[in-house]
């Protein structure tokens, strides 16, 4: 995806309305830098533009007639060719005019097209586009809305209990509720008066004329609105949150076990985490892994420290590559292995230290580890003692210590980084 087709579709494309703009933008987002290979299914486009799939097809054909889209038959992408033939969507080429690009942008795009075997963009193969046709106006635009002949001015609109009752004085002016105030400033409000007539003849006059004897607190308790909301989202919700926190709280024994495993997390990884500490969810995952695998906290801590070196995370930091997602690395250091054997710990049995036969079989099936004779052609292979990767004897002879050259280079790089860090620390101490 390039930003130029998206900018053109959003701000400069001669579309008719918002539906066409949404469909066109959704197309170019998944296309190439020059507007080619824009293919998405009508169902996907309909979900993005919030229209029907048939509307998407009709709008695409309309834009094709106006020259905004063109069906692409050459230079199709490999991603489109990998789709089953019966499921392939229409590959569109968005006809962004060549004159829309600046000279430097057009030269850069043509260089990229030349490297891919595509012809350059010119005003001939990417001509300018006509303005969008005007939208159809409503047939009744400009005409006044007709008044209903049977509309009555005195119609109250609802079945009010006040219809047919004669009121005089202040009651006729304001038939709603009233809030009487006491004569002195020391007394509080007396509640609300609802001067509505009773629908039931058995009610007494005092019940008809509102709960003046009720306090304002009683009126609030009788409400079904805020009280129901408070019951759903107030104390009940807080009770759920409190219970969830209580469930995830670590016990004293659990906290001690987690502290052992957390101590194996490298300081360089903690520097990349928020607050320079592991999240609480990771501590809960430690307890779950201890319960699931039956490992001791010391064994789980050894797993974290071993994978930090074996998976070459430390080497990436020392070489300047960095880690894309430190939280994903933190989870990878703790996660269970792929081997179905419960006693296997990273291709070795936790009790005896011998190599796991199940892992050896899986590595052979994936083409790793010991290569079968019929596939190796009689070539000699050996496995590095540190990274467990297979090495060809003809290309890299096996050393006496059984460690490959890549692992030695990483160790040297880590040692150089440690020496530089120690020198920096010593210099700062001397200056202080």
What is the spatial distance between Cα 276 and Cα 268, in angstroms, rounded to a whole number? 10
Which of 315, 336, 357 is the endpoint of a domain? 336
Residues near 200 by Cβ (< 8 Å), separated by ≥ 6?
A: none
* pLDDT for 53: 93
Closest CA to 92 of 49, 29, 8, 11: 29
Listed in sequence order, the residues at least 6 apart from 37 whose beta carbon sits closer than 8 Å to its beta carbon are 31, 72, 75, 76, 77, 79, 80, 91, 93
Within-domain flag for 211: no
Domain termination site, one of 336, 351, 382: 336
Assign 27 a pLDDT band (cuts: 50, 70, 90).
very high
Mean pLDDT value across residues 395-423 = 76
The answer, yes or no, to whether residue 193 has pLDDT greater than 80, is no
User: Are 13 and 106 in a shared domain?
Assistant: yes
pLDDT band at 187 (very low <50, low <70, confident <90, very high): low
Domain closes at, from 336, 356, 390:
336
Residue 280 counted as domain residue: yes
Residues 11 and 88 in one domain: yes
pLDDT, tens digit (0-9, with 9 covering 90-100), for 332-382: 888 888 787 778 888 788 878 788 877 777 666 655 444 333 344 455 777
pLDDT in tens, 256-280: 899 999 888 888 888 888 878 889 8
Distance from C-alpha of 256 to C-alpha of 299, rounded to nearest angstrom: 14
What's the confidence (pLDDT) of residue 397?
83
**Which phi and psi (to 5°) does residue 124 adopt?**
-80, -45
Mean pLDDT, the chain, integer:
75
For residue 179, what pLDDT band results from cuts at 50, 70 and 90?
Answer: low
Task: Render 339-382 in DSSP notation, one character per residue.
Answer: -S-TTEETTEETTT-PBPHHHHHHHHHHT-SSPPHHHHTT--EE
Cα 344 from Cα 340, distance rounded (Å): 8
Residues 15 and 98 placed together within one structural domain of the fold? yes
**HEC readout, 371-409:** CCHHHHCCCCEEECCCCCCEEECCCCCCCCCCCCHHHHH
In a domain, residue 194? The reply is no
398 within domain boundaries: yes
Q: Same structural domain for residues 32 and 86? A: yes
In this structure, the answer to whether residues 407 and 323 fall within a common structural domain is: no
For residues 129-151, average pLDDT: 79
Q: In this structure, is residue 249 part of a structural domain?
A: no
Residues 375 and 318 in one domain: no
Asked, for residue 56, whether it belongs to a domain, the answer is: yes
The number of distinct structural domains making up the chain is 3
Whether 272 and 321 map to the same domain: the answer is yes
Specify if 430 maps to a domain.
yes
Amino acid 195: pLDDT: 55
Hey, which residues does 362 pair with through a beta bridge? none
> What's the pLDDT tens digit per position in 213-247?
444 444 444 444 444 444 444 444 444 444 444 45
Give the model's pLDDT for residue 430. Answer: 59
Regarding whether 328 and 373 lie in a shared domain, the answer is no
Q: The domain that contains 14 carries what CATH number?
A: 1.10.10.10
From 231, 196, 200, select the one nearest 210 (Cα to Cα): 196
Largest CA distance in the chain: 113
Q: Is residue 318 part of a domain?
A: yes
* Residue 85 lies in domain: 3-115
């Amino acid at each position: 995806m390039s930003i130029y087709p998206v900018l053109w579709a959003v701000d400069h494309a001669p579309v008719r309305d918002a539906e066409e703009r949404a469909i066109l933008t959704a197309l170019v987002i998944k296309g190439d830098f020059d507007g080619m290979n824009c293919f998405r299914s009508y169902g996907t486009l309909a979900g993005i533009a919030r229209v029907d799939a048939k509307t998407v097809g009709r709008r695409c054909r309309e834009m094709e007639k106006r020259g905004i889209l063109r069906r692409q038959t050459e230079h199709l992408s490999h991603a489109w060719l990998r789709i089953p033939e019966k499921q392939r969507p229409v590959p569109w080429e968005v006809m962004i005019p060549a004159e829309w690009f600046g000279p430097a942008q057009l030269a850069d795009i043509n260089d990229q097209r030349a490297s891919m075997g595509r012809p350059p963009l010119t005003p001939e193969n990417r001509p300018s586009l006509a303005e969008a046709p005007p939208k159809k106006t409503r047939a009744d635009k400009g005409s006044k809305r007709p008044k209903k002949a049977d509309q009555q001015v005195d119609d109250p609109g609802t079945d009010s209990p006040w219809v047919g009752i004669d009121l005089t004085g202040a009651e006729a002016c304001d038939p709603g509720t009233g809030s009487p105030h006491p004569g002195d400033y020391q007394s509080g409000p007396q509640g609300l008066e609802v001067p509505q007539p009773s629908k039931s003849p058995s009610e007494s006059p005092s019940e008809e004329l509102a709960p003046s004897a009720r306090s304002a607190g009683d009126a609030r308790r009788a409400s079904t609105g805020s009280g129901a909301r408070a019951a759903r989202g107030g104390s009940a919700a807080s009770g759920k949150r409190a219970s969830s926190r209580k469930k995830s709280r670590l016990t004293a024994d659990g906290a001690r076990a987690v502290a052992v495993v957390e101590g194996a997390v490298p300081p360089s990884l903690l520097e990349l985490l928020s607050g320079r500490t592991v999240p609480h969810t990771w501590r809960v995952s430690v307890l779950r892994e201890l319960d699931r695998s039956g490992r001791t906290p010391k064994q789980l801590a050894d797993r974290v420290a071993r994978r930090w070196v074996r998976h070459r995370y430390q080497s990436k930091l020392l070489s300047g590559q960095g880690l894309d997602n430190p939280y994903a690395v933190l989870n990878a250091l703790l996660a269970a292995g792929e081997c179905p054997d419960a006693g296997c710990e990273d291709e070795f049995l936790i009790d005896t230290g011998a190599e796991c036969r199940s892992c050896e079989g899986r590595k052979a099936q994936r083409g790793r580890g010991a290569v079968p004779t019929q596939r190796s052609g009689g070539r000699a292979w050996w496995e590095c003692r540190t990274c467990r990767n297979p090495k060809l004897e003809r290309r890299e002879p096996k050393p006496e210590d059984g460690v490959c050259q890549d692992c030695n280079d990483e160790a040297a790089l880590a040692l150089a980084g440690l020496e530089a860090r120690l020198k920096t620390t010593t210099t700062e101490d001397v200056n202080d």
